[in-house]
Amino acid sequence: MDYATAAPGVMRAMAQLDAYVSNCGLEPSLRELVKLRASQINGCAYCVDLHSHDARALGETEQRLYSLSTWRESPFYSDRERAALAWTEALTLVAVDHVPDAVFEQVRPHFTDEELANLTLAIGTINAWNRFGVGFRDVPAIREAVPAT
């Protein structure tokens, strides 16, 4: 189903959320890591492809992208990024354990109240996009391989 054609208001509303999140003051690299991690958890192939591509365009390294699903065991992420990823996982999996207090305590020192509200909206927005992508079977674009140098 082409949801953008069926309900153009949906795309306008989602675009408004994206526009706010893009200009909310959170670092672009952090936003992309959050989008990518939530999309991995939700199994949204379209969004995983899109946000890994966008993260690389922002200068993200292959090593950090490949290690994102194992961020807890990898030394490549800052404390702020780790807090954001923990918050992302807790909110994305909210039905599992309802955001444990320990996760909230982990994230608080790294974000102001405004930043945490904005981060929460960013996570909610990508989760909404993932529901569209997974629900309506969005297929990632086939990209030509870039030869290694």
For 88-123, the pLDDT digits (tens) are 999 999 999 999 999 999 999 999 999 999 999 999
Q: Residue 84: which of 62, 66, 68, 67 has the closest Cα?
A: 68
Is residue 145 included in any domain, yes or no? no
3-state secondary structure of 98: coil
CA distance 139 to 133: 8
CATH of the domain at 58: 1.20.1290.10
Is residue 77 included in any domain, yes or no? yes
Does residue 145 carry a pLDDT above 70? no
**What is residue 148's predicted lDDT score, i.e. its pLDDT?**
60
CA distance 32 to 3: 24
Does residue 147 carry a pLDDT above 80? no
Counting the structural domains of the chain, the total is 1
Is residue 106 included in any domain, yes or no? yes
What confidence tier does 149 reach under pLDDT thresholds 50, 70, 90? Answer: low
Averaged confidence pLDDT in the chain: 95
Is residue 5 included in any domain, yes or no? no
For 124, the domain range is 29-135
Predicted model pTM: 0.93
Is residue 11 included in any domain, yes or no? no
Is residue 148 included in any domain, yes or no? no
Is residue 6 included in any domain, yes or no? no
What letter would DSSP give residue 93? T
Is residue 13 included in any domain, yes or no? no
**What is residue 129's predicted lDDT score, i.e. its pLDDT?**
97
